[in-house]
């Protein structure tokens, strides 16, 4: 990194989760009514998963939670601590200590709200070959309240930021907090970025998603998430991804001077950049051989992290997307959303 950035220019809210990750047989998924490559919220019937993983499989504990993942990756690439500030709620326990330490090591300035009576959230990451299925037990993450953002220190961190990123996952927790951050971004004419996060968000939380959409300058999603959004909107079920992107971009927007941008990833197929009144652009992905892939858990989050690391430096969308692909390609070769060594992204 060449230019020194102001601390705290990137602010986000999300669910701080500790990932409990293990390879499991397909039978495990079937027993819990889960599918490969899905992401769900835990119901009562899923609660035994976490103990079963720890007791019966070679489970690894990894720092998780979508926005925190993206911020850790952005910080790794930036190489300058405290550019990113993260808000979320954890319990008062060992898992929270692990998350705090991982955030600090990565250079993320985590301002956690603490729930005294609820444990830190966890996410079961069930690995079947090169696929993964996620089951999040939000626990303390679900206790986040808007008062946390109203604390004077946190309020000023939000006021002083220049870029804002919140995942769609946070819509299940506290839409008023999202609206508060989005409104600040809008009032200050600063970019507000969001992620569709998982198909279930569009299926079950469409109204709060539509409420915040007018504020969203850049929307990220993968193919399944974009298609779930399209279906929930009643757009043709077999709609082409480019057309879905065009329609996402065309949804109502408050600041019409800065038209919305959609960035849709498609695994190892090219990333689509969809902008108002411009042809769709494709950015190729260097496909990894199967033997190079450890797991794809966190690929989408790492993509966003790489993107943000360049976006906050004012780099072009082209550079931001190439860095997203670089970061995703790197973390796929590591367990969960983790990295190894120094980043080697060249921006030309
Ligand atoms: P997870 O959904 O696994 O992570 P993700 O970041 O979304 O990664 P995916 O593997 O789903 O990638 P994608 O489908 O989004 O993107 P795509 O395949 O297009 O989530 C992991 C985290 O979510 C966990 O840590 C967990 O804690 C958290 N989480 C779960 N539930 C939560 C909740 N309720 N709240 C908060 N957090 C929650 O790929 C993206 C890019 O990767 C591509 O553009 C490309 O660059 C690269 N790529 C993909 N495949 C290849 C390949 N074969 N070769 C080379 N590059 C590739």
Predicted confidence (pLDDT) per residue in 199-216, tens digit:
999 999 999 999 999 999
Report the pLDDT averaged over residues 242-257: 96
Backbone angles phi, psi at 271, to 5 degrees: -80, 135
| Contact yes or no for 319/69 (Cβ under 8 A) | no
Residue of 296, 321, 326 to mutate, ligand 1, most atoms within 8 A of C-beta = 296
pLDDT at position 237: 63
pLDDT at position 1: 52
Domains of the chain: 10-16+65-120+138-332 (3.40.1190.20)
Please report which confidence band the pLDDT of residue 332 belongs to, taking 50, 70 and 90 as the band edges.
Answer: very high
pLDDT at position 201: 97
Q: Is the pLDDT of residue 87 over 70?
A: yes
Nearest residue by C-alpha to atom 50 in ligand 1: 267
Q: Is 264 in the pocket of ligand 1 (CB under 6 A)?
A: no
CA-wise closest residue to 227 among 243, 250, 211, 212: 243
Per the prediction, the chain carries an average pLDDT of 95
Compute and round to an integer the Cα radius of gyration of the chain: 19
Residue 194 burial class via C-beta count within 10 angstroms: exposed 0-12, middle 13-18, buried 19 and up: buried
Report the pLDDT averaged over residues 247-267: 96
Residue of 74, 99, 267 to mutate, ligand 1, most atoms within 8 A of C-beta = 267
pLDDT at position 38: 86
Q: Do strands 281-283 and 60-64 pair parallel, antiparallel, or not at all (unpaired)?
A: unpaired
Q: Which of 36-40, 41-45, 117-121, 281-285 has the lowest mean pLDDT?
A: 36-40
Kindly provide the b/e burial profile for residues 256-279, where b requires at least 16 CB atoms within 10 angstroms of the residue's own CB: eeeebbbbbbeebebbbbbbeeee
Distance CA 259, CA 257 (A): 6
pLDDT at position 304: 98
Report the pLDDT averaged over residues 54-68: 93
Give the rounded percent of residues in the chain with a pLDDT score beyond 70. Answer: 99
């Amino acid at each position: 990194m060449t230019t020194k950035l102001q601390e705290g220019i990137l602010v986000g809210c999300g669910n701080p989760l500790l990932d409990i990750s293990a390879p499991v047989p397909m039978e495990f998924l079937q027993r819990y009514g889960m599918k490969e490559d899905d992401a769900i919220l835990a119901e009562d019937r899923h609660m035994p998963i976490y103990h079963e993983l720890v007791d019966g499989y070679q489970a690894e504990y990894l720092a998780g939670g979508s926005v925190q993942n993206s911020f850790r990756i952005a910080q790794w690439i930036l190489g300058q601590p405290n550019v990113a500030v993260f808000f979320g709620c954890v319990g008062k326990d060992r898992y929270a200590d692990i998350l705090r330490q991982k955030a600090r090591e990565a250079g993320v300035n985590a301002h956690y709200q603490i729930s005294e009576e609820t444990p830190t959230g966890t996410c079961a990451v069930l690995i079947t070959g090169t696929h993964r299925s996620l089951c999040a037990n939000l626990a303390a993450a679900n206790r986040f309240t808007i008062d946390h953002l109203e604390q004077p220190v946190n309020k000023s961190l939000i006021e002083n930021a220049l870029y804002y990123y919140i995942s769609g996952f946070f819509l299940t927790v506290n839409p008023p907090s999202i609206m508060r951050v989005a409104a600040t971004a809008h009032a200050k004419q600063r970019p507000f970025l969001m992620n569709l996060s998982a198909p279930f968000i569009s299926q079950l939380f469409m109204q709060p998603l539509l409420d915040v959409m007018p504020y969203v300058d850049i929307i990220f999603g993968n193919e399944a998430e974009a298609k779930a959004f399209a279906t929930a909107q009643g757009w043709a079920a077999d709609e082409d991804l480019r057309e879905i992107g065009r329609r996402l971009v065309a949804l109502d927007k408050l600041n019409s001077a800065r038209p919305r941008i959609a960035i849709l990833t498609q695994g190892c197929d090219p990333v689509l950049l969809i902008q108002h009144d411009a042809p769709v652009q494709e950015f190729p992905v260097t496909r990894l051989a199967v033997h190079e892939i450890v797991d794809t858990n966190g690929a989408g989050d790492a993509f966003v992290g790489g993107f943000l690391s360049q976006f906050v430096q004012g780099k072009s969308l082209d550079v931001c997307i190439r860095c997203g692909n670089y970061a995703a390609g790197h973390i796929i070769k590591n367990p969960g959303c983790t990295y190894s060594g120094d980043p080697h992204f060249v921006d030309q």
